[in-house]
Amino acid sequence: MHIKVLFFLSFLFYSASGSTKYWVSFSDKNGVTFNPYTYFESRTIEQRILQHIPLVDSTDFPLNQLYVQQITTLSDSVNWQSRWLNGIAVYASPLQVEKMKLFSFVSCIVPMTAKAVLANKKGVYNNLSIIQKELLNYQTTRLKGNEFEKQKLDGTGIRIAVFDAGFPGVDKHPAFDHLRKNGRIIATYDFIKKREDVYHFSSHGTATLSCIAGLLDTVKIGMATGAEVLLARTEYAVRDNFSEEENWLAAAEWADRQGVNIISSSLGYLFECYFNFEMNGKTSLVARAATIAAQKGILVISAGGNEGSDKWHFIDTPSDADSVLTVGGTDPFTDFHIYFSSYGPTSDGRLKPNISAPGQAIVATESGYTVESGTSFSAPLVAGFAACAWQKNRSWTNMQLFNAIEKSAHLYPYFDYAHGFGIPQADHILANTIQTEPTFDFVIVNDEIKVVLREKFAYPEMENALGYKTQRNFYYKLEDSSGTILYYKVLLADQKEMLHLAASQFNNGDVLTVHFEGYTSSFDLQDDDSDIK
Amino acid sequence: MHVKHILIILILISFSLGVRSQTVLLNVDQADEKKFTTEEVGQNLKRFNQGFIRIAGIIPPENPGARVVYGTSIDLAVGFRKKYKVSGAYSLGWEAAIGYKSVQIKQEAHKQVLGTDLSKKERFNISTIGLGFYNRINFDPGRGNFIGTYFDLAIKGEYAIFERVLFNKLSDGSNGKLILSNLPYTRPFQSELLARLGRGHFALIASYRISELFKKSFGYPELPVMSAGFEFGLY
């Protein structure tokens, strides 16, 4: 009797998970034709010509509809098709999948069981105080956004697609009046509901959009107030929902078709969907989609994730993809890594995050403004920055812009896996050169290596952009002879002699790199010909 | 040692701290991070460890003469489980737990278990340590790194580390509590089968005791052998 009950319950559970979502990849696109001039908007064609990217490649061709038809017949339902990855997402039973595998045109079928998280931490404030207004100012001036303003750079002519979980209020909130009045919300699409209306569900997208192009009265929340935007709802708001990775892919193709220059994504897929060793930028569907988007000339900017204080504290995907500009978060009050910002590198050892930006910001909500925390807001702040930088340098390719943003960052050429190259600086982009004077010296006394701040820079604290006395940060790292970082630290620069290291404790070829106040220098440890580089 | 000497030492220590100490704001040692690429411990990786709490109630059927009060007769356990993944659909594992069963025996005319004397309340408690082995079938073999939906069949052995019987208001009508321990009629080793149907942190469980609780020579009818409830995974 009781055994029967157990089997019945077992059956119920099995039935509940009986129809699973699968990604079905096709082997070819035989017999398919494609005309880019009728499919793409003229902007897409212009972008490809400008960036010397082939106007058409096989990823642009549509799927073989005969293949699609046969798979559709065998499936419970079909979600999206992808030209880029030559496949479709279907709901099917294991039996149906076995039948699909028999088709010669099916190259592989993989189950999709991803979960997504929104890369933000809930804010605790409701009303803007004086300090919060200072924060509003800080979130753009820390990137020297005022330098863009001086040159009237506001992202005009740049088209940005925002992928998020909903945009309630964007159709009536005063923060976006300028976008609506000038017809700069170019297109919207809800890839979950399959309709154009995106002004519902999670206000996470409203907040991230404001960090790109929002205004609070006349003060910029994000730098690209002159940009055009496309809004794509690709995710549910609730963390535990099974997500639709293929929606991200479909939205990217949709954005590419409409000549988007920048994709800003604050969605992360992490340990619930992939194993740690799969965070290599090549495994997840979204990482592969983001890589193709970059190949099409789009600058993809993605939030690094908010798992920094968790056991699994690594960069999410698609931020693990090589050509995605991954943004970590900094604390506005200390100016270094904010505790929740995820750490790099990728599982295959590549530098991530690439750069950082404030991880706490004033954002628009559905009906007002608030303070929110998360790399969700670091990424769109950089998207606004990138739009202004690209407006200034329209001849750059997306990857030239990518590199220029990295080089403009305040720690460059220093980097570590918490900050990347640091916070991008508009004045560095505009000047195209960075002048720095030495701020410290390596001093060798017998077996000891000291790092001593120069007199001019040896003072304990300074005033930050929020008007508060704050510490200055001293960064250093140790790399082995192959360039692998062994450890990295940030110290409070509260004394003149910052480091005392015994040379004997290091291996031949180890390199100590220090960054302080815009100046970076390295020292080869245990090398007979050691010298300051 | 003079106070003066202590002060000098303290001053020297504070001086050296003042000169040498660093205020470390962030310190990341990449050696600790290497397991990111090598670690195989995870919910759906080769090995997975988790704690668990089990809360179950004793359920029918019951023997005449050994009827119990349901709802207050409970079967609790706290333990640790290790899972070894064989394939996406099949895993093996073991678990160790500390258990506590408390059975309230119905006080009625035909009661035979633990004697025929009647009290206001009579409760048989047993604390155990146990070790079990289980097979797991996962219904979503292609899942990501999460537990998914599963069905376990386990066999476990338990050793009684403490047993006692509590009587409230004694058979002679006097108020009071009598506690008997080191019971001569219980068997120290028990074994049971356990089935578990779970998804993520939660599981429904049902267990069936396959060994006898009391020594035959005492002639007591057996207490109910089944319990059902749920488990919560701690990870």
Alpha-carbon gap, residue B169 to A381, rounded angstroms: 73
| Chain-chain contact of A2 with B206 (C-beta, under 8 angstroms) | yes
Taking each helix axis from N to C terminus, what angle separates A398-408 and A375-392, rounded to the nearest 10 degrees? Answer: 110
Alpha-carbon gap, residue A156 to B53, rounded angstroms: 59
DSSP E strands, A103-256: 106-111, 116-118, 159-164, 185-190, 215-216, 219-220, 228-233
Beta-ladder partners of B55: B76, B230
Instruction: Output the pTM of the full model.
Output: 0.78
Output the six-digit token pair for A416: 């570590």
Query: Mind telling me how many Å the CA of A280 is from chain B's nearest CA?
Result: 10
Residue-wise pLDDT for B72-90, tens only, equals 999 999 999 999 999 888 9
Note if the bond before A380 is cis, omega within 30 degrees: no
Contact A318, A284 (CB under 8 A): yes
Asked if A8 has any chain B CB less than 8 Å from its own CB, the reply is: no
Alpha-carbon gap, residue A154 to A228, rounded angstroms: 11
The most confident of A24-38, A268-282, B173-187, by mean pLDDT: A24-38
Beta-ladder partners of B178: B167
Residue A72 has pLDDT above 70, yes or no: yes
Q: How confident is the model at residue B2 (pLDDT cuts 50, 70, 90)?
A: low
A343 contacts in chain B (CB < 8 Å): 28, 33
| Chain-chain contact of A336 with B25 (C-beta, under 8 angstroms) | yes
In chain A, residues 329-348 whose CB comes closer than 8 Å to chain B: 334, 336-337, 343, 347-348
Q: How confident is the model at residue A456 (pLDDT cuts 50, 70, 90)?
A: confident
Looking up tokens 């960064």 gives: A475
Residue type for position A412: Y
Contact B111, B164 (CB under 8 A): no
Output the six-digit token pair for A198: 């995106």
Q: How confident is the model at residue B71 (pLDDT cuts 50, 70, 90)?
A: very high
Residue A123 has pLDDT above 50, yes or no: no
Residue-wise pLDDT for A15-35, tens only, equals 444 567 888 999 999 999 999
Beta-ladder partners of A450: A443, A500
Query: Mind telling me how many Å the CA of B144 is from chain A's nearest CA?
Result: 4
Residue B14 has pLDDT above 50, yes or no: no
Residue type for position A191: F
Query: Mind telling me how many Å the CA of B16 is from chain A's nearest CA?
Result: 13
Alpha-carbon gap, residue A106 to A102, rounded angstroms: 8
Q: How confident is the model at residue A6 (pLDDT cuts 50, 70, 90)?
A: very low
Nearest to B195 among A6, A494, A498 (CB): A6
In chain A, residues 97-156 whose CB comes closer than 8 Å to chain B: 110-111, 113-115
Query: Mind telling me how many Å the CA of B228 is from chain A's nearest CA?
Result: 10
Summary mean pLDDT of chain A: 87
Query: Could you tell me how far CA B217 lies from the centroid of its own chain?
Result: 30
Contact A341, A306 (CB under 8 A): yes
| Chain-chain contact of A485 with B30 (C-beta, under 8 angstroms) | yes
CA-nearest residue to B228 within chain A is: A2
Residue A11 has pLDDT above 50, yes or no: no
Interface test with A, best of B22, B40, B208, B234 (most A CBs within 10 A): B22
The pLDDT, as a whole number, for residue B128 is 95
Looking up tokens 């476990």 gives: B156
Query: ipTM of this model?
Result: 0.81
CA-nearest residue to A347 within chain B is: B37
Residue range B100-117: average pLDDT?
88
Cα–Cα separations (whole angstroms), residue A435 to A204, A438, A493, A531: 39, 10, 22, 22
- Other Cβ atoms less than 10 A from the Cβ of A60: the count is 21
Residue A116 has pLDDT above 70, yes or no: no
Looking up tokens 């009684």 gives: B160
